[in-house]
Amino acid sequence: MKKNKQPGRVKSALLNWLGVPISLTTGTFWEEWMGTSSSGKTVSADKAIRLSAVWACVRLLSESVSTLPLKIYERQADGSRKAATGHPAWAVLCRRPNPEMTPSRFMLMVVASICLRGNAFIEKKFIGSRLVSLVPLLPQNMVVKRLENGSLEYTYTDSGSKRVIPVKNIMHIRGFGLDGVCGMMPMMTGRDVIGAAMAVEESAAKIFENGLQSSGFLSSENALDPEQRERMRGYMTAFTGSRNAGKIMVLEGGLKYQNVTMNPEAAQMLESRSFSIEEICRWFRVPPFMVGHTTKQSSWASSLEGMNLQFLTHTLRPLLVNIEQEIARCLLDSDDDIFAEFSVEGLLRADSAGRAAYYTSALQNGWMSRNDVRRLENMPPIDGGDIYTVQLNLTQLKNLENSNPAVQALALRELHSHVFPDIPFEQSPLRQAA
């Protein structure tokens, strides 16, 4: 008797779909494969992304990170740093990760994979020993397992063919997890929250499909024969659905229609939909107002700069540090003097007043030059802009005697503007005292 090999193929295919090693002999497989939540909805990444809240959260996180400049720096002996443009990883991270992607598109896919699948896998391509390309892989096609010798094995399935990728050729960015092997799958761990939201959205859609009318029943004093029942069933289809809302229905044979009273507010439909958005935002650690949910007063900072700072500190920074450290571990050869860092100043650029105050403080206290500021504003440097200056309005007058005359005049004018703003400088007591 020929042995049936089909179950083996099914098991292999399903393991590849999941992206994690599981066993068919336990309930874990069927729970993950079916993804059935307590609400009865089957939850998967492809179905969850259809929810507006999930779409908005994943898009916000991935696009926010993808717009931040990522640079590789080399730490100098004096504690400063400079761009490590000669490092092989600079070309693939900061210029072109692979022939088909820009750095922004590459990072967007990486972060979206972490948000939806809990893991991001990037294959490193080499020519000889030189890194030439980074190719993001689909997490659902990857199987990760720990071997008996303690090392990890990465098996990837592409177009039905399997291949084992050496550990040195893979960069694995894990999301939140407990075992250190793989990040936890948000669609699996949060299936009840997302499944409840899917059920509420479907219920709301059904109400609109029925023309904002709930179901009802027909009553008659006499029993209907099968022919009458079939005729009434076909007759009723002409009055169901949103397209037929408002039509007048004429009942025959003494039939009476009785509506089952229900409205969305009585069923707490609107409240449930609102709460589902808040639950999903809590799951992705995204403030609801940043995805357009503004029904409640935000307890966050009132200014735009404060909101961006909170979002950066509590939501983006853990994700950014995770990616930066994985880049250092997998691409920079664990060199302590070479490191990758996202430039987060761009998130605060929208607040022009706060940015101006920041630059003013930096220039007046001498820890930034004018060319440093111009570089942050994407402006070309100017002659003499690399000189670091400090304000002299708190300098004792007797100490100005040894200063350059031009510096003295500038310091006196600045001090006069603060002390005697209503008196012309030519009549300033400070000028006479100097």
For 229-319, strand residue ranges (E) read 256-259
Dihedrals φ, ψ of 132, to 5°? -125, -15
Where a domain ends, among 166, 186, 206?
186
CA distances from 264 to 51, 208, 212, 280 (A): 19, 11, 9, 21
Number of CB atoms found within 10 A of residue 38's CB: 11
pLDDT value at position 129?
A: 86
pLDDT digits (tens, 9 = 90+) for 68-91: 989 898 888 877 788 888 888 899
Cα–Cα distance measured from residue 210 to residue 232, given in angstroms and rounded to the nearest whole number: 18
Distance CA 316, CA 345 (A): 13
Residue where a domain terminates, one of 186, 204, 229? 186
In a domain, 137, yes or no: yes
Please name the helix (run of DSSP H) or strand (run of DSSP E) that holds residue 173, with its range, or none.
strand 170-174
Residue where the block lists tokens 């779909």: 17
Q: Out of 26-35, 221-230, 355-364, pick the least confident.
A: 26-35
Structure confidence by residue, pLDDT tens digits, 391-413: 765 555 455 555 556 666 666 67
Whole-angstrom distance, CA of residue 345 vs CA of residue 358:
11
Domain final residue pick, 186, 205, 240: 186
Q: Please indicate, yes or no, whether residues 123 and 219 belong to a single structural domain of this protein.
A: no
56 and 162 inside one domain: yes
Does the pLDDT of residue 27 top 50, yes or no?
Answer: no
Higher-confidence residue: 349 or 202?
Answer: 202
Q: Is residue 151 part of a domain?
A: yes
Tokens found for residue 160: 């039905």
Q: Put the strands of the sheet holding 152-158 in their side by side order.
A: 142-146, 152-158, 161-165
Identify whether the C-beta of residue 83 lies closer than 8 Å to the C-beta of residue 73: yes
**By residue range, what is the domain housing residue 220?**
215-260
- pLDDT higher for 358 or 35? 358
Dihedral angle of Cα 23, 28, 30, 35, to the nearest 10 degrees: -140
Q: Which of 312, 383, 307, 391 is nearest to 344 (CA)?
A: 312
**Of 108, 128, 110, which Cα lies nearest the Cα of 119?**
110
d(CA 161, CA 142) in angstroms, rounded, equals 12
Do both 158 and 255 map to the same domain? no
Residue with tokens 């029904």: 295
Number of independent structural domains in the chain: 3
Residue 283 counted as domain residue: no
Contact 158/141 with Cβ under 8 angstroms? Answer: yes
Q: Is the same domain home to 163 and 31? A: yes
Query: 191 is written with which tokens?
Result: 């299936």
Q: Are 113 and 175 in contact (CB under 8 A)?
A: no
Task: Please tell me the distance from the alpha carbon of residue 20 to that of residue 377, in angstroms, as a whole number.
Answer: 45
**Among candidate residues 161, 162, 109, 168, the one with its CA nearest the CA of residue 135:** 109
Matching residue, tokens 């059920």: 199
Collapsing DSSP states into helix, strand and coil, what is residue 165?
Answer: strand
**Is the separation of the CB atoms in 337 and 80 below 8 Å?**
no
Same domain, yes or no: 247 and 359: no
251-310 tens-digit pLDDT: 666 667 666 555 555 455 666 777 788 888 888 888 888 887 776 555 555 566 677 778
Q: Are residues 255 and 159 in the same domain?
A: no
**Inside any domain, residue 191:** no
* 12 and 134 belong to one structural domain: yes
Whether residue 140 is contained in a domain is answered as yes
Q: Who has greater pLDDT, 267 or 38?
A: 38
Higher pLDDT, 8 or 120: 120
Structure tokens at 36: 């059935």
Enter the pTM of the model.
0.66
Whether 299 is covered by a domain: the verdict is no
Structure tokens at 139: 């997490």
Is 256 part of any domain?
Answer: yes
The pLDDT tens digits for 199-238 are 777 776 666 665 545 556 666 667 767 777 777 776 666 6
Q: Which residues have C-beta within 8 Å of that of residue 237, sequence separation ≥ 6?
A: none
Same domain, 179 and 219: no
**pLDDT-derived band at 134, boundaries 50, 70, 90:** very high
Same domain, 148 and 62: yes
In angstroms, how far is the first alpha carbon of the chain from the final one? 111
State the alpha helices, DSSP H only, in 87-177: 88-90, 103-117
Residue 266 CB burial class (10 angstroms; 0-12, 13-18, ≥19): exposed
237 and 121, same structural domain?
Answer: no
Tell me which amino acid residue 37 is: S
The pLDDT tens digits of the residues spanning 315-340 come to: 899 999 999 999 999 998 766 788 89
Determine the Cα–Cα distance for residues 50 and 205; give it in Å rounded to an integer.
14
Residue 360 pLDDT exceeds 60: yes
Model pLDDT, residue 174: 92
**CB atoms near residue 87 (< 10 Å):** 21
- Half-sphere exposure at residue 238, Cβ-oriented, CA atoms within 13 angstroms: 9
Is residue 60 in some structural domain? yes
Question: Do 152 and 226 fall into the same domain?
Answer: no
Q: Residue 224 in contact with residue 233, Cβ under 8 Å?
A: no
Q: How confident is the model at residue 5 (pLDDT cuts 50, 70, 90)?
A: very low
Residues paired with residue 339 on neighbouring β-strands, in sequence order: 73
pLDDT of residue 371: 87
CA count, 13 A, side-chain hemisphere, 89: 24
* Position 171, amino acid: M
What value does the mean pLDDT take over residues 127-147?
90
How far apart CA 42 and CA 34 sit, in angstroms, is 6
Q: Rounded CA gap, 104 and 110, in Å?
A: 10
60 plus 155 within the same structural domain: yes
